[in-house]
Structure 1
Amino acid sequence: MSMSWILFTLMAAFMQAWRNAFQKQLSTTVDVWGVTLARFLFGFPLAILYIEGLYQFSPIEQAVHFTQQYWIYIAIAAASQILATALMVQLFKQKNYAIGVGLAKSEAILAAIIGVVFLSDHLSLYAWFGVILGGFAVFLLSRGHQFAGFSPKTLMIGIGSGLCFAITSLLVREASLELTNLPQLHRASWVLVSVIGLQCISMLLYLALFSRKTLVAMWERIGLTFKVSLCSFLASLGWFTAMSMMSVPIVKTLGQIEILFSLLISAYFFKEKLAKAEHWGLALVVIAAILVIWA
Structure 2
Amino acid sequence: MITSPIWLPVTLAAGAMQAWRTAVQRRVGKSLSVNGAGLVRYLYGLPFALIMLAAYHALAAPGAWPVLGAQFWPFCLAGAVGQIVATNLLLMAFDEGNFVVGTAYSKTEAVQAALFSAVLLHDHLSVLSWAGIALGVIGVMVLATGGRPTAPAAFVRALGERAALYGIASGTVFALAVIAIRRTTFEVGTPDHILAALVTLAATVGLQTFLQGGYVLLRERGQMTRVLASWRVSGQVGLLSSVGSACWFTGFATAPVALVRIVGQVEVAFTMAFAHFYLGERMARSEVAGLLIVAVGVVLALWGAR
TM-score, normalised to structure 2's length?
A: 0.89
2:27 is matched with which residue?
25
- Which amino acid counterpart does residue 150 of structure 1 have in structure 2? A
Instruction: Work out which of the residue numbers 200, 220, 223 in structure 1 matches 2:209.
Output: 200
| 1:32-91 alpha-carbon deviations (Å, 9 max, x no partner) | 111101111121111111111011111244641222311111001100111111222232
1:152 is matched with which residue?
160
Matched, 1:10 2:12: yes
- Which amino acid counterpart does residue 187 of structure 1 have in structure 2? A
SS in 1 for 2:195: helix
Is the CA contact 2:146–2:287 (under 8 Å) kept in the aligned structure 1? no
Matches within 5 A, 1:118-197: 118-143=120-145, 147=154, 150=158, 152=160, 154=162, 156-197=165-206
Is the CA contact 2:76–2:181 (under 8 Å) kept in the aligned structure 1? yes
Is the CA contact 1:184–1:244 (under 8 Å) kept in the aligned structure 2? yes
- Which amino acid counterpart does residue 140 of structure 2 have in structure 1? V
- Which amino acid counterpart does residue 266 of structure 2 have in structure 1? I
Is the CA contact 1:5–1:241 (under 8 Å) kept in the aligned structure 2? yes
The alpha carbon displacement at 1:21 in A equals: 0.9
Is the CA contact 2:45–2:237 (under 8 Å) kept in the aligned structure 1? no
The alpha carbon displacement at 1:194 in A equals: 0.8
The alpha carbon displacement at 1:168 in A equals: 1.0
- Which amino acid counterpart does residue 3 of structure 1 have in structure 2? P
Cα distance between partner residues in 1 of 2:100 and 2:23:
17
The alpha carbon displacement at 1:291 in A equals: 1.7
Matches within 5 A, 1:34-45: 34-45=36-47
2:61 is matched with which residue?
59
Matches within 5 A, 1:61-100: 61=63, 63-94=65-96
SS in 2 for 1:152: coil
What RMSD over aligned residues (CA atoms) do the two structures have, in Å?
A: 2.3
- Which amino acid counterpart does residue 56 of structure 2 have in structure 1? L
Q: CA 1:264–1:95 in structure 2 vs 1: closer, same or farther (change >3 Å)?
A: closer
SS in 1 for 2:71: helix
1:117 is matched with which residue?
119
- Which amino acid counterpart does residue 131 of structure 1 have in structure 2? I
The alpha carbon displacement at 1:13 in A equals: 0.7
Q: CA 1:126–1:219 in structure 2 vs 1: closer, same or farther (change >3 Å)?
A: same
Answer with 170-179 or 97-106: which moved more. 97-106
The alpha carbon displacement at 1:223 in A equals: 0.8
Cα distance between partner residues in 2 of 1:92 and 1:52:
35
2:245 is matched with which residue?
236
- What are structure 2's unaligned runs of at least 5 residues? 149-153
- Which amino acid counterpart does residue 6 of structure 1 have in structure 2? L
The alpha carbon displacement at 1:93 in A equals: 4.8
Cα distance between partner residues in 2 of 1:189 and 1:97:
29
Cα distance between partner residues in 2 of 1:96 and 1:200:
28
- Which amino acid counterpart does residue 130 of structure 1 have in structure 2? G
Q: CA 1:55–1:251 in structure 2 vs 1: closer, same or farther (change >3 Å)?
A: same
Is the CA contact 2:61–2:195 (under 8 Å) kept in the aligned structure 1? no
- Which amino acid counterpart does residue 190 of structure 1 have in structure 2? V
1:277 is matched with which residue?
286
The alpha carbon displacement at 1:96 in A equals: 9.7
SS in 1 for 2:158: coil
| 1:261-284 alpha-carbon deviations (Å, 9 max, x no partner) | 121122222333211112211111
Q: CA 1:97–1:50 in structure 2 vs 1: closer, same or farther (change >3 Å)?
A: closer
- What are structure 1's unaligned runs of at least 5 residues? none
TM-score, normalised to structure 1's length?
A: 0.92
Matched, 1:247 2:249: no
The alpha carbon displacement at 1:139 in A equals: 2.1
Is the CA contact 2:79–2:178 (under 8 Å) kept in the aligned structure 1? yes
The alpha carbon displacement at 1:156 in A equals: 4.2
Is the CA contact 1:208–1:215 (under 8 Å) kept in the aligned structure 2? yes
Matched, 1:50 2:52: yes
Is the CA contact 2:76–2:180 (under 8 Å) kept in the aligned structure 1? yes
Q: CA 1:151–1:275 in structure 2 vs 1: closer, same or farther (change >3 Å)?
A: closer
Q: CA 1:55–1:93 in structure 2 vs 1: closer, same or farther (change >3 Å)?
A: closer
Q: CA 1:207–1:100 in structure 2 vs 1: closer, same or farther (change >3 Å)?
A: closer
Cα distance between partner residues in 2 of 1:126 and 1:249:
13
Cα distance between partner residues in 2 of 1:82 and 1:95:
20
